[in-house]
Structure 1
Amino acid sequence: MISQFFVLSQRGDNIVFRDYRSEVAKKKDGQEEAPPVFNVDGVNYFHVKVVGLLFVATTRVNVSPSLVLELLQRIARVIKDYLGVLSEDSLRKNFVLVYELLDEVIDFGYVQTTSTEVLKSYVLNEPIVVDAARLQPLGPAAIFMQGTKRMPETAVTKSVVANEPGGRKREEIFVDIIEKISVTFSSSGYILTSEIDGTIQMKSYLSRNPEIRLALNEDLSIGRGGGSIYDYRSLSGSGVVILDDCNFHESVRLDSFDMDRALSLVPPDDEFPKRDNLKLK
């Protein structure tokens, strides 16, 4: 049960505020850094930071902290799906749409839904398009990008509900491949542990929700089977892709995955991940 929800800027300004139950008094802003979850005078405070904005919820009920923190993350994701760009400027220019979303997501403190696809049936306002900030320079990492093309930043900052000028429906789908590398070195410079975590994220603008087939490497192998890191090195350059473990979004069907490494799915309207994890230990 949520009593209040608000979004704060980096300066601490109140951008969005919704009081659902009128049971928590307003307090003066503090200057110290607060933990993600804390209690003051019987009021539980929860907050997460998303792209420099603080998404905050309060309640007097003893609820699971992980539940509220996950709710805040999902609200931020829903707002980004509708606005395309999640920033202070986009929130201020689309405050009517944001409040309409909040009233549909939470009713008198009780969560109703956080699905962008479901909300499209109830939220009628169109977003005001806000240009995203320019992509930051890659710096030293640019050496790895020579000879490659970068997708225009507008590709991942579009609203999932706004149409193109003239009312034309977009027929686009974007696929992002995100990899995170974690390596631990000894004092002598030797690699102690190494790990790669990867995620494939899709964002669909296709009408009528068609079925999509995503083909992966046919030599994909899942599960190391107790092999060592040297087994990986012996297979390097052979075209074989080895994943220690992987899991998929609920919309992914794996009927033919074992035969041809192809995924069938009907993508939802919001951004969703299909995760692949590769770990070398």
Structure 2
Amino acid sequence: MVSVVSFCDSKGKPILSRRYRDDVSLSAIDKFATLLAELEEESSVVPPCLSHNGTYFLFIQHEDLYVVALSTSLATNAAQVFTFLHKLVEALGDYLKTVEEESVRDNFVIIYELLDEMMDYGIPQITETKMLKQYITQKSFKLVKAVKKKKALARPPGALTNSVSWRAEGISYKKNEAFLDIIESINMVMTQKGQVLRSEIIGQVKVRSRLSGMPDLKLGINDRGIFTRDSDSGEEQVAKPPGSRKSNVELEDLKFHQCVRLSKFENEKIITFIPPDGEFELMSYRLSTPVKPLIWCDVNVQVHSKSRIEIHCRVKAQIKKKSIANNVEILIPVPDDADTPSFKYSHGVMKWVPEKSSILWKIRSFYGGKEYSMAAQMGLPSIAATEKPTFRRPVQVKFQIPYFTTSGIQVRYLKINEPKLQYKSYPWVRYITQNGDDYTIRLN
């Protein structure tokens, strides 16, 4: 359990604190700045948990702030504490837009209200911003005056006293729909010759719920790590994405939204949940399985006389012919002093980006199996004719492939049941594969 939650500046000095238990004094946070300074002098890596005289400081860093939780118990669930701190910052972001030292000082009233509602006696309670905003109605930098009439006072919604604290009662839509987005981001590092050095798939299942009442959803996925049964259970079927693998896949690092019934999942390997209203991330996963490059580039640099270079690039979409990669962008680095570019290319649009010392090649629609090429000639006034320039930055590739999943994950069925209203519902599933933050090709 947490005894105190504090916000500290970039040097570790406290800005505001909220104490939940009496086993830690408010002055205990003053020691955090000293401990932080001592560790920074000894090592460049500071662990996320410090201790002093039986008090433990668990903290995260956000912008120019440290958000610190103090505890005296060795039985404290550290993972739960760090999750709460991140949820706290996320909720503050929805209220304050920008969470930094100045905004914390200017909005201490809102922050104290959130700390009071999100945690009780050191135990996390409510972390859904949609529920908090129903009765914490103050806006950042402006304080809402209290209304004298008792009937007009904001009261906690009834959902907070129920087991479903993330969804309010009485939600109604004329057309009941549920949208699922299966988004997979590919991180890959390749050599200039096409050898894959590292690859991984980061997946997200995002839901946009527009359903009335208190619907109960059951989601079926073709993952043998989750399901032992196939889609012959008679549930409502959803078409599989084109180009997906037929074999089952094993998902790693599964993380679920709090609405998922974990006991049901652990015992029966079934994902069932009552969704929050609107958009949310139902689950995320990771796969470290080897993946071949979806968009492959062969970049060749040639040095010529009179201090000029030529860059040749050949790009190929290594996906099925029925698939299309949209908004493909290839950012090719060039030496910082390169100038006077001239281009020749077979498809797309070429652009010289001097502020990034790069050439940008854009291809709006790239059909599977197609191959395109380009050539760029640039002057290099500061190097000798025989000197080959070095490239410290890799080639960066961006793309988006709809109706396609690299892992082969498929939604087998999505069943929506509202026991009271018994309405007809329409589930929609969309698959997207895109580049991750690190889809690069090394040139040296």
TM-score when scaled to structure 2?
0.39
The structural deviation recorded for 1:97 is: 0.6
Q: Say if 2:174 is the partner of 1:183.
A: no
Separation of aligned partners in 2, 1:236 and 1:40? 62
Q: Which runs of 5+ in 1 are unaligned?
A: 130-176, 210-216, 265-273
Give the Cα separation in 1 of the matches to 2:134 and 2:108.
Answer: 19
- Corresponding position of 1:23: 23
Higher-RCO chain (CA-CA 8 Å, sequence separation at least 6): 2
Please tell me whether residue 254 in structure 1 is matched to residue 414 in structure 2. Answer: yes
**Which of 26, 43, 50 pairs up with 2:62?**
50
Instruction: Classify 1:278/1:41 alpha carbon distance in 2 versus 1 (closer, same or farther; 3 Å).
Output: same
Report whether the alignment pairs 1:103 with 2:111: no
Paired with 2:208 and 2:104, the residues of 1 have a C-alpha distance of 21
- Relative to 1, partners in 2 of residues 1:110 and 1:231: Cα closer, same or farther, differing over 3 Å? closer
Deviations along 1:9-50, whole A, 9 cap, x unmatched? 223232231122232242432202441123322222211122
Instruction: Provide the secondary structure at the position in 2 that maps to 1:225.
Output: coil
Is this contact kept in 1: 2:184–2:405, CA < 8 A?
Answer: no
- 2:187 touches 2:200 (CA, 8 Å); kept in 1? yes
Partners of 1:261 and 1:277 in 2: how far apart? Answer: 23
Indicate conservation of the 8 Å contact 1:199/1:276, yes or no. Answer: no
Match of 2:85 among 72, 91, 99: 72
Aligned mates of 1:7, 1:247 — CA distance in 2: 43
For the residue of structure 2 that corresponds to 1:45, the secondary structure is strand
C-alpha displacement of 1:93: 1.5
The 1:60/1:180 distance shift into structure 2, 3 A limit, reads: same
Question: Are the counterparts in 2 of residues 3 and 59 from structure 1 also a CA contact under 8 Å?
Answer: yes
Shift in Å at residue 189 of structure 1? Answer: 6.8
| Residue of structure 1 in register with 2:407 after alignment | 244
Q: Which has the higher helix share?
A: 1
Q: Once the two structures are superposed, what CA deviation does each residue of 1:68-122 show, in whole Å capped at 9, x if it has no partner?
A: 1111111111111122222222212111111111011112322221111222233
Kindly tell me: are residues 38 and 105 of structure 1, through their superposed partners in 2, closer, same or farther at Cα, counting changes over 3 Å? same
Structure with the higher strand share, 1 or 2: 2
Q: 2:53 aligns with which of 41, 63, 71?
A: 41
1:7–1:15 Cα contact (<8 Å) kept: yes
User: Within 1, Cα distance between the matches of 2:432 and 2:57?
Assistant: 31
Task: Output the CA distance in 2 between the equivalents of 1:226 and 1:124.
Answer: 47
Against the structure 1 CA distance between its residues 119 and 180, is the aligned structure 2 distance closer, same or farther, given a 3 Å change threshold? same
Deviations 1:163-197 (A, max 9, x none): xxxxxxxxxxxxxx998653344697722332343
TM-score (norm 1): 0.58
Contiguous gaps of at least 5 residues in structure 2: 41-45, 143-181, 214-238, 250-289, 295-317, 325-402, 417-425, 440-444
Equivalent position SS for 2:126: coil
Give the alignment of 1:1-281 within 5 angstroms: 1-25=1-25, 26=28, 27-28=30-31, 29-30=33-34, 31=37, 32-33=39-40, 34-61=46-73, 62-128=75-141, 181-185=186-190, 190-197=195-202, 199=204, 219-220=241-242, 222-223=244-245, 225=247, 229=291, 233-235=318-320, 238-239=323-324, 241-244=404-407, 254-255=414-415, 262-263=428-429
Aligned mates of 1:13, 1:51 — CA distance in 2: 15
Letter in 1 for 2:120: D
Using the alignment, how far apart are the partners of 2:112 and 2:49 within structure 1? 24
Percent of aligned positions with the same letter in both sequences? 26
* Structure 2 contact 57–71 (Cα < 8 Å) conserved: yes
Aligned residues: 211
- The residue matched to 1:235 in structure 2 has which SS? coil
Whole-angstrom CA distance in 2 between matches of 1:241 and 1:67: 35
How far is 1:123 from its partner? 1.6
Give me the whole-angstrom Cα distance separating, in 2, the residues matched to 1:275 and 1:118: 30
Letter in 2 for 1:35: P
The code of the aligned residue for 2:135 comes to Y
Show the counterpart of 1:153.
Answer: none
Aligned equivalents of 1:18, 1:275: Cα separation in 2? 43
Match of 1:171 in 2: none
Check the 8 A contact 2:199/2:291 in 1, yes or no. Answer: no
Measured on the aligned residues, the alpha-carbon RMSD in Å equals 4.6
The separation in 1 between residues aligned to 2:409 and 2:60, in whole angstroms, is 27
Q: Look up the equivalent residue of 1:92 and give its one-letter code.
A: R
Q: Identify if the C-alpha distance between structure 1 residues 193 and 94 changes in structure 2 by more than 3 Å, giving closer, same or farther.
A: same
Q: Are the counterparts in 2 of residues 246 and 276 from structure 1 also a CA contact under 8 Å?
A: no
In structure 1, what residue type is equivalent to 2:2? I
Tell me if the contact between 1:218 and 1:261 (Cα under 8 Å) persists in the aligned partners: no
